[in-house]
A and B are shown apart, each in its own frame.
Chain A
C-alpha cells in the first residue's frame, strides 16, 4: 500500500501544487445491551481511501471504496481542484518523514474473546437491572475500533499509523409515570481494554444517583455562581474556547483575527488551557495528524492570554504560524480540518472546600451530557447538579444546562482547583458534518460566576 500511494502521489505531482492520499482500514466490534436484551452485537469492516489535491488555492477532494481504482479517483480530484483555482495557498512547511507507527497497548481488546466482552457488559447490565425495582431499564454500550491509516503526499511524506479506540457507557434508567431519569458511567481509552473493566462499584453508585434523581427538583432558572467538576470542566473548555481556537475559523476572517490576536486577554492570569495529542491513553492521542504533521502539546491560553491555536498546514501557512498537528479527518470519507485532540484546563491551586465555602447560593454541576458552540455563544449540559447553600453542597437538582459567552465567561472563572482528572467517554466531537471524532477532555474543578442556567 505504501508503494502504491507513493506512485500515485508522484504521478499526479505535476498536475497540481500538492497532492495527498490516505487509505484506511477499520474494524469494529460493538455491543449494546438495552434492558434485558443484547440488542446489538455487531462487527464492521471498513476499507476506503481518499485523495486531496491543491491547485491555485483551491482543493479537490475525492473519497472512494474501490481502492484499486485510486489513480482514477486521484485524476478526478485534481480536475476538481483545477475547476475553481484562482488564488494561492501556502502550506506551512514540515519535515518529510517516513514512519511506521505501531500500537503499544496496555491491554489489547483484540486479544479478548467476543464472549468475554459480552459477559463483561452483561455483568454491568445485570448489576443495573438487579439494583432496585425502581430501575426499570438500562443501556450498556461498548465498542473497540482498530484503524490502520496509510498516508502519503507529493512532498515525500509516507506514514502508516495504527490507532485504537475503546469506549462505552453504562446507563441506569428509572421510568416512573411520566418521569424518565438516567445517569451514566462512561469509559474510554486509546490503549487499554482495562478501562472497561472493574466498573461495578461505579455502576452501583450511578444506580443510586438515578433513583435519587426521581425526587430531585428541576433547577430554578437564573444566573448562578457555578462550580464545575472535572468531568464538566473538560467539556466546558472544549465548547467555550477549544472550537474558537480552531484556526480554520480565523485564517481568512479579518474581524475574527482582530478578536483573536495572540496576546489578547481572555481570562484571569490563573487560567491556562492546552490541547495535546501527546497524552497516551486519551482518545485524542495521536502521533501524526491526517496531514502527516507530528502532534504536540499546544497552549491556547497561558496566564489568561491567547497564545496559540489549532492549525492545519493551510491555516498555519496563511497566518505565518507553526502547524500544530491538529488537522484531523473522521475517516477516509472526509478531508482533514482543524480539530481538537485532548483539551484541558491546567491544574490550579484551590481545593474544592475553599471554592465552596463562601458561596451563599450556587450550583455544583457534575459530569457532562455534551455541549455545542457557535463561536461566541456556547452551551453545555451537566449529568446532574447540586445546589450550593451557605457554603455547603446541598440537595440534588436535575436538568442543569448552562450557557455562556466566550467574551465574558472565561473572565468569570475565579478559581481553579488543585485536582486534575481526565474524563473520556464514548461520544465525540462534531464539526462540519464530521462526527463523532474521538477527543479527550480534562481539568480540575473550576468556579465561575454569573453563568446562565435554564430551568423552571
Chain B
C-alpha cells in the first residue's frame, strides 16, 4: 500500500515522497458517578503522504484507503501552490538503541482486569467518603508507526501504552471540589491503587477552604503545575517560532534565559516514557540532549523543514502531534515539538522548601493557562487546586483566585527552590519528570 501510494505520487510529478503509517488499537473502561459506565475499543489506521515536487512540499492524509490514489494526487497538486522550501528526507535507518517500548502485560490486559481495577478505585473512594463521587478511566493501546520515503528509509516501531486516571468530586453546599491524578507508561507499571490513594490525600488537604488575601506571594509549583508552565519554554524553543521571529528567546542560544538552578534535558529514550521512540515522525533518530544547562539555552527543537532554515541538523523533534489532544496523529503535518522533558532535581526536599515559606501558596492545578499570551511568557490562570501556606505549613485550600506572571522573568530571577523529590507527569504523548519549584513574587489575585 505505501509503495503504491509513493509510486502514484511520483507518477503525478513528485520528485521525493514520504509516507507515514499509523495503526492503533485501544481498549478502555470508563467510570463516572461512582459507576462503571462503558467499555470502549477502537481499531484505527491511517496514513499521511508528504511530497516534494520541484522543491515545493505538498501534504495529504487519509484513513479512507479507497482514496489513497487521490491522496497522492492531492498532495502533488497542493505542492504546486507552495513556495520552494529546502527539505531532505533521511535515508539512514535509525537504530533501535535497545529501547523497550512494548510490554506483553499491556497487550494481554483484558477489559475484565481493567474493570476490576476501576471497581477497586470506586470502592476505595467510597470507603474514604461515600459522598465523594468517583470518575476516571483505564485504557491500553497498541500502536504501530512506520515511516518510509523515496530516499531509502523504511523504519517502523511498535509501542504499548497504558494509562489510568482516578478522580473524585465532592460537593458540600455550593462548594464543588475536584481532585484527580493520572499516569501513563509504555509498560504495565501504572498503579491505579496508588493514584486513588493520592486522590484521597488531595481531598484531605483541600476539604477546608481558607480565607486568603491576594498580593505578591511565594509560590510552590507541584511537579504537574511546573510541567504545565514549562509549555511556555516548549513554545519558545520551537524552531518554527524561532524561524518566524516570534519566540522571545529566538536570539538567546548560549545566553542565560532561566535561573542557574534549572537544567532541562530532553530524553527521547526515557525508560517507559510515553514519548520514547527510536525515531521521530519523520524518521530522525531520537536521543538525549540538554535544552537548558544551568539556565543557559543550548538548543532549539527543529524538524526536517526548520533545520535548514536555522542552519542546524534535524534534532529529532519532527512530530505529528494533534494540536488539541497532544497525541500522535497521522492527520497532523510534522512540526517541531518537544518530547519527554526532565527538569533536574536539586538538594532539598519538598518538605524543607515548604517549611521555609512564611506566607505563600502551593499551586497544583491551573485552569485556562492556554488563554494567555504564552508565546511571550505571560500567563494568568485560575487556581483550580491550590493551598495556602502559613508559617511553613499547608493550612487549607484557596479558591476564586488567579496566579499571574511572566514565565521568563519568574524562572530567571525569582526561583528560590528546586526540590530533590520528582514526579513523572504524563502530558499528551510525553512523559516528563519534574521536581517542585519554588519562586517568589508571583501575583495572586483574589
Q: What's the dominant secondary structure at chain A's contact region?
A: strand
Q: Report the minimal beta-carbon distance from A43 to chain B, rounded to whole angstroms.
A: 4
* Closest A residue to B235 using CB positions: A180
Q: List 27 A-B contacts (CB under 8 A).
A: A45-B64, A45-B67, A46-B64, A47-B62, A48-B44, A61-B41, A62-B40, A63-B44, A66-B43, A178-B248, A179-B376, A223-B446, A255-B131, A255-B133, A255-B171, A369-B371, A372-B382, A376-B174, A381-B371, A381-B380, A398-B378, A399-B380, A401-B368, A403-B445, A405-B400, A452-B445, A454-B403
- Residue A435 at the B interface, CB < 8 A? yes
- Residue B178 at the A interface, CB < 8 A? yes
- Residue B97 at the A interface, CB < 8 A? no
Q: Which B residues form the contact surface with A (CB < 8 A)?
A: 29, 32-33, 35-46, 58-64, 66-67, 70-71, 74-75, 77-79, 81-83, 85, 111-112, 115, 131, 133, 169, 171, 174-176, 178, 214, 240, 244-250, 324-325, 331, 333, 367-368, 370-373, 375-378, 380-382, 384, 399-404, 408, 443, 445-446
Q: Which residues of B contact A38 (CB under 8 A)?
A: 81-83
Query: Is the Cβ of A175 less than 8 Å from the Cβ of B248?
Result: yes
Q: With A47-B63, A403-B402, A405-B400 given, is the CB distance from A59 to B131 under 8 Å?
A: no
Q: How far is the CA of A177 from the CA of B377 in the complex (A)?
A: 13
Query: Is the Cβ of B372 less than 8 Å from the Cβ of A333?
Result: no
Query: Is the Cβ of B404 less than 8 Å from the Cβ of A173?
Result: no
Q: Report the minimal beta-carbon distance from A58 to chain B, rounded to whole angstroms.
A: 6
- Residue A10 at the B interface, CB < 8 A? no
Q: Which residues of B contact A223 (CB under 8 A)?
A: 445-446
Q: How far is the CA of A407 from the CA of B245 in the complex (A)?
A: 44
- Quick one: which of A35, A221, A335, A453 contacts B40, CB cutoff 8 A? A335
In A151-184, the 8 Å CB interface with B consists of: 173, 175, 177-182
Query: Is the Cβ of A47 less than 8 Å from the Cβ of B66?
Result: yes
- Residue A377 at the B interface, CB < 8 A? yes
- Residue A105 at the B interface, CB < 8 A? no
Q: Which residues of B contact A222 (CB under 8 A)?
A: 445
Contact with B along A47-64 (1 / 0, CB 8 A): 110000000001111111
**9 extra interface residue pairs, beta carbon distance < 8 Å, beyond A178-B408, A182-B373, A223-B445:** A37-B85, A43-B75, A43-B78, A175-B246, A180-B376, A221-B445, A378-B382, A379-B368, A398-B373
* Closest A residue to B330 using CB positions: A44
Question: How many A-B contacts at CB < 8 Å in the complex?
Answer: 259
Q: Which residues of A contact B77 (CB under 8 A)?
A: 114
- Quick one: which of A173, A180, A377 contacts B400, CB cutoff 8 A? A377
Q: Which residues of A contact B60 (CB under 8 A)?
A: 42-45
Q: Report the minimal beta-carbon distance from A414 to chain B, rounded to whole angstroms.
A: 19
Q: Which residues of A contact B59 (CB under 8 A)?
A: 40-42
Q: With A83-B111, A453-B445 given, is the CB distance from A44 to B331 under 8 Å?
A: yes
* Closest B residue to A314 using CB positions: B37
Q: How far is the CA of A405 from the CA of B174 in the complex (A)?
A: 10
Q: What's the dominant secondary structure at chain B's contact region?
A: mixed
Query: Is the Cβ of B39 less than 8 Å from the Cβ of A80?
Result: yes
Query: Is the Cβ of B245 less than 8 Å from the Cβ of A136?
Result: yes
* Closest B residue to A60 using CB positions: B39
In A398-412, the 8 Å CB interface with B consists of: 398-399, 401, 403, 405, 407
Query: Is the Cβ of B402 less than 8 Å from the Cβ of A430?
Result: no
- Quick one: which of B63, B71, B75, B399 contacts A48, CB cutoff 8 A? B63
Q: How far is the CA of A400 from the CA of B409 in the complex (A)?
A: 19
Q: Which residues of B contact A81 (CB under 8 A)?
A: 39
Query: Is the Cβ of A454 less than 8 Å from the Cβ of B445?
Result: yes
- Residue A34 at the B interface, CB < 8 A? yes
Query: Is the Cβ of A253 less than 8 Å from the Cβ of B33?
Result: yes
Interface size on A, as a range, is: 35 or more
Query: Is the Cβ of B82 less than 8 Å from the Cβ of A41?
Result: yes
Q: Report the minimal beta-carbon distance from B95 to chain A, rounded to whole angstroms.
A: 31
Query: Is the Cβ of B376 less than 8 Å from the Cβ of A64?
Result: no
Q: Report the minimal beta-carbon distance from A373 to chain B, rounded to whole angstroms.
A: 8
Query: Is the Cβ of A379 less than 8 Å from the Cβ of B32?
Result: no
Q: How far is the CA of A380 from the CA of B402 in the complex (A)?
A: 12
Query: Is the Cβ of A455 less than 8 Å from the Cβ of B373?
Result: no
Contact with B along A439-456 (1 / 0, CB 8 A): 000000000000011111
* Closest A residue to B82 using CB positions: A38
Q: Which residues of A contact B171 (CB under 8 A)?
A: 253, 255-256, 259
8 tightest Cβ-Cβ pairs between the two chains A and B: A381-B371, A454-B380, A379-B368, A47-B64, A454-B402, A252-B33, A379-B382, A255-B171
Please indicate which of the listed interface residues B32, B131, B368, B378 has the most CB atoms of chain A within 10 Å of its own CB: B368
Q: Report the minimal beta-carbon distance from B402 to chain A, rounded to whole angstroms.
A: 4
* Closest B residue to A373 using CB positions: B367
Q: With A178-B376, A452-B446 given, is the CB distance from A377 to B83 under 8 Å?
A: no
- Residue A84 at the B interface, CB < 8 A? yes
